[in-house]
Structure 1
Amino acid sequence: MSKSSTANGVPDELQRRLGVGDAVVIGLGSMIGAGIFAALAPAAGAAGPGLLLGLFVAAVVAYCNATSSARLAARYPASGGTYVYGRERLGDFWGYLAGWAFVVGKIASCAAMALTVGSYVWPGQAHAVAVAAVVALTVVNYVGVQRSAWLTRGIVAVVLAVLVAVVVAALTSSAAEPTRLDVGADASFDGVLQAAGLLFFAFAGYARIATLGEEIRDPARTIPRAIPLALGITLVVYAVVAVAVLTVLGPARLADATAPLSDAVRAAGADWLAPVVRVGAAVAALGSLLALILGVSRTTLAMARDRHLPHALAAVHPRSKVPHRAELVVGAVVAAVAATADVRGAIGFSSLGVLAYYAIANASAWTLTPTEGRPHRPIPLLGLIGCLVLAFALPATSVVSGAAVLVLGAAAYGLRRAFAVRRSP
């Protein structure tokens, strides 16, 4: 693992301020976000009545990824996540590729979350609101990670309250039809896999816990506890919400819904709750965006330390102890993408990058020895295979564009290494 360097004479070490509760909240803020408000409809369109099967498949792959990530994060408690794990276990190239996939994929995720905020708050000016949201949350992250954790805690509380209201309204409605939960009829295998790939987008937030490894107290104990706990809570919430929405809408109406949870409460006869759901969706997207910017900036910091990105981005602010330059650059890039991007395209592109990132995490976990805390062998193997299968099950445009960007990153790495060799004596 690389040692901390200095920038302008100031040590670039981050402070360990976050405990188990803070880490779990950051993970929940990333996962229980706009995904549950936006991902159910396209997933239902892909899988039909197999939506719950797709959710289960996504959860299994996410569990394997979470377990592998937790064991690796305990072994290498530094900012960067799989960028660090891949570098230490598989070699410099694989670490770089993981970091590249994460940064590029999650920038697309940030843009998607920002646009979700805009579409709920002011549909006619979605791009402008998205850019404003990115700027505001970049400022919050710049002030300090501890304040970010407190804000995330409040956001999670609001979103959970809204989701509970949706579930109660749906399950107590006379429109609820349990027969609509027949998950076997008309569900194709390919559709279930594509739904799982789309739903995985909403599960991937636990990476933020690992990427904050350098700011977590007692990371060897905290991270392995926080990641499975955050994932387990998220799975329960998603499953209950999916069942509730399916009981009042059914797979066909859910697939056509532009705002699934709002449509569900209207179908349940609780029209008064629809504006509350819209506010909840906007708050949820803000929570995801906050944690996403936090995680991308930390991976950018780690890559800048190793000069895979400009070394100036490795600076840590002497007072707030955050990677301030990395956060400002990431915020600027996300704002630019949010000003021009399409939400659905951003989600598909992001999913492929994230799945590639976790494939490398599982391959890295496979190389751990028993004394290093290696997980049971089937876990990283199933996680690796699952990531690859779900990646190729995504819509063709997402696969092609995502693969092209990964190849571009690999080519940039090769050119950089070739140039370094030519310059060496």
Structure 2
Amino acid sequence: MMESQLSGKADTSIAANKKASGVLGLKSLTAVAVGLVVSQGVMVLMLQGVGIAGAAFIVPLAIAWVLALCYAASFSELSLLIPRAGSLSAYTEVALGQFPAILSVFSGYVVVAMFALSAELLLVNYFLGVLYPAVESTNYVAFGILGVFTLLNLLGIDIFAKLQSVLAFAMVVALLLLGVSAVTGGFAPQTFEASKLAEGFNLGDGAFTLIALAIWGYVGAEFVCPLVNDSRDPARNIPRSMYIGLTVIFVVFAIYCLGALFYVPRDVLLSADLPHLEYASAVFGGSGTFLLAVAAITATCSTVNSSLAAIPRMMQGMAEQGQAFPMLGWLTRSTQVPWVAVLFIAGVTGLPLLVWGNDPTTVGLLLISAAIAWLLAYIIAHVNVIALRVRYPNAKRPYRSPFYPLPQLVGIAGMAYAIVYASPAPELTVKIFTNAGVVLGIVSVIAVVWIKLVMRKPLFKPEPLDEIIKR
């Protein structure tokens, strides 16, 4: 009886979403998936992977794409079973309880985004400082970008959608133009022949251990899920946007990475501070710096724009469920934007810029450490799907993960493997895992105190599915 009621309520909720005047269609949602994932930091990481393994890097890149499709399948099922802005917190409190719910979002998104966005802003500031020395040793560009996109997100989701589509399109076109020009040699003679690249294809060069690095090229596509209530036909567009977005990313990165090998020596790709600048200059000469500046700035703006749209809605959902301060759920009257949450995320993003100034290497180390928590969040999402399939086997699911439970089991194993090999160098391993442990420890203590003293609920008792859907 309870499951039949759940089915009806889930149908009603999804139907309401379909009828709502959502402004985000498939194109806008795909732009979110692509725009959040493809950042300037990822552009650098992909070239470092090519520097280590050469053309063989395409293998871990493909494996990481499969792992990304697995997490997209899990998030699609969860977001449409429980279509709430809280995203992972809402799914996890039904599957595993309050403590894993709060831990997964704060450690896997808020803390990670804090360092990810800060590192991205520092990197674009550093990049432009190399091209234009007047910008060097300042954070004007970083704070300017953060301020502009904070304001634009406060104006409403329709402004965000229009901007995101333009930014994502410009970024993908710029990267594809660079990659295709390099692969074809259409703009300048290639430095290295294709036969030499084939000779260097060796899976023994640590290629499989680079799955951990390659997976960073795909994290974040699930940021479309907190936007479920702003989407048109979410049962169709949420899954498709992630699958299409991740596939576009794979194709773009494959061409981009292989193209670099025709022009830039592998040791340069691995050691250069800005390998993508070396790449663009080798392919296009002086004009390449302009093209790369467009790609870098649009990548950073796109990442910041997507994060300031999605993460505050996660915070909004948590506030509505009593898992965070109520003011994080306050909405503007006209545009229904969680304005306190937007300002909160903008504030924690700007804090590292003030603390560490213009030193991206320090934030980069902390970013790798915090990214471990992001992979833990993906593991929790896969476990959620399995737990809810067991607890509510007959609940109506507008989207069901294909080939269940294979994507979940493969995803858990793959993410665990990526965590083990998260450190890019042995001498950094202790620092990285210490930082990750400290982050998780602090968040865990805060979560326990909040659940016990404020929410007054058990740590690991799952909430009934019908109560979450009714909220």
Report if TM-score (shorter chain) is over 0.5.
Answer: yes
2:355 matched to 1:340? yes
- Per the alignment, residue 156 of structure 1 pairs with 168
The offset of 1:15, in angstroms, is 6.8
CA distance in 1, matches of 2:211, 2:347: 31
1:82–1:95 contact (8 Å) kept in structure 2? yes
The offset of 1:419, in angstroms, is 2.8
2:27–2:165 contact (8 Å) kept in structure 1? no
CA distance in 2, matches of 1:17, 1:374: 26
- Equivalent residue in structure 2 for 1:118, among 115, 125, 138: 125
Query: What whole-Å deviation, never above 9, does each CA across 1:116-164 have from its counterpart, x for those lacking one?
Result: 2212233513533212211111111111111111111111222122213
SS in 2 for 1:401: helix
- Per the alignment, residue 11 of structure 1 pairs with none
User: Quick one: which amino acid aligns to residue 386 of structure 1?
Assistant: G
CA distance in 1, matches of 2:213, 2:441: 22
Change (3 A) 1:45 1:350: farther
Change (3 A) 1:61 1:263: same
Change (3 A) 1:374 1:170: closer
- Per the alignment, residue 261 of structure 2 pairs with 246
User: Quick one: which amino acid aligns to residue 368 of structure 2?
Assistant: G
User: Quick one: which amino acid aligns to residue 122 of structure 1?
Assistant: G
- Per the alignment, residue 6 of structure 1 pairs with none
CA distance in 2, matches of 1:278, 1:288: 15
Q: Structure 1, unaligned stretches of length 5 or more?
A: 4-13
- Equivalent residue in structure 2 for 1:103, among 100, 110, 115: 110
SS in 2 for 1:212: helix
Q: Segments of 4+ in structure 1 off by > 6 A?
A: 421-424
CA distance in 2, matches of 1:330, 1:269: 38
Change (3 A) 1:23 1:70: same
The offset of 1:332, in angstroms, is 1.2
- Equivalent residue in structure 2 for 1:399, among 414, 420, 433: 433
Query: What whole-Å deviation, never above 9, does each CA across 1:200-230 have from its counterpart, x for those lacking one?
Result: 2331131211121221122222211211111
User: Quick one: which amino acid aligns to residue 190 of structure 2?
Assistant: S
Change (3 A) 1:243 1:312: same
The offset of 1:34, in angstroms, is 1.8
User: Quick one: which amino acid aligns to residue 229 of structure 2?
Assistant: E
Alpha-carbon RMSD across the aligned residues, in angstroms, is: 2.6
- Per the alignment, residue 82 of structure 2 pairs with 76
Mean Cα displacement is larger for which, 249-258 or 289-298? 249-258
The offset of 1:250, in angstroms, is 4.1
- Per the alignment, residue 21 of structure 1 pairs with 27
The offset of 1:304, in angstroms, is 1.8
Larger Rg: 2
User: Quick one: which amino acid aligns to residue 61 of structure 1?
Assistant: L
- Equivalent residue in structure 2 for 1:180, among 197, 200, 219: 197
1:317–1:324 contact (8 Å) kept in structure 2? yes
The offset of 1:267, in angstroms, is 2.7
Mean Cα displacement is larger for which, 376-385 or 48-57? 48-57
2:47–2:257 contact (8 Å) kept in structure 1? no
Mean Cα displacement is larger for which, 205-214 or 40-49? 40-49
Change (3 A) 1:309 1:383: same
- Per the alignment, residue 129 of structure 1 pairs with 141
User: Quick one: which amino acid aligns to residue 137 of structure 1?
Assistant: F
- Per the alignment, residue 133 of structure 2 pairs with none
Q: Structure 2, unaligned stretches of length 5 or more?
A: 1-5, 10-19, 131-135, 424-428, 459-471
- Per the alignment, residue 154 of structure 2 pairs with 142
Q: How high is the sequence identity, in percent, across the aligned residues?
A: 20
- Per the alignment, residue 353 of structure 1 pairs with 373
- Per the alignment, residue 57 of structure 1 pairs with 63
2:92–2:381 contact (8 Å) kept in structure 1? yes
TM-score between both structures, scaled by the size of structure 2: 0.80
1:82–1:358 contact (8 Å) kept in structure 2? no
- Equivalent residue in structure 1 for 2:279, among 264, 274, 283: 264
- Per the alignment, residue 378 of structure 1 pairs with 406
CA distance in 2, matches of 1:47, 1:410: 38
Mean Cα displacement is larger for which, 305-314 or 50-59? 50-59
CA distance in 1, matches of 2:48, 2:437: 22
1:162–1:276 contact (8 Å) kept in structure 2? yes
Change (3 A) 1:241 1:384: same
User: Quick one: which amino acid aligns to residue 103 of structure 2?
Assistant: L
The offset of 1:268, in angstroms, is 3.4
Change (3 A) 1:144 1:346: farther
CA distance in 2, matches of 1:400, 1:183: 35
Change (3 A) 1:72 1:126: farther
TM-score between both structures, scaled by the size of structure 1: 0.89
SS in 2 for 1:317: coil
2:322–2:455 contact (8 Å) kept in structure 1? no
Query: What whole-Å deviation, never above 9, does each CA across 1:288-341 have from its counterpart, x for those lacking one?
Result: 111112222111112222233211111111101111110011111111123334
The offset of 1:352, in angstroms, is 1.3
1:315–1:325 contact (8 Å) kept in structure 2? yes
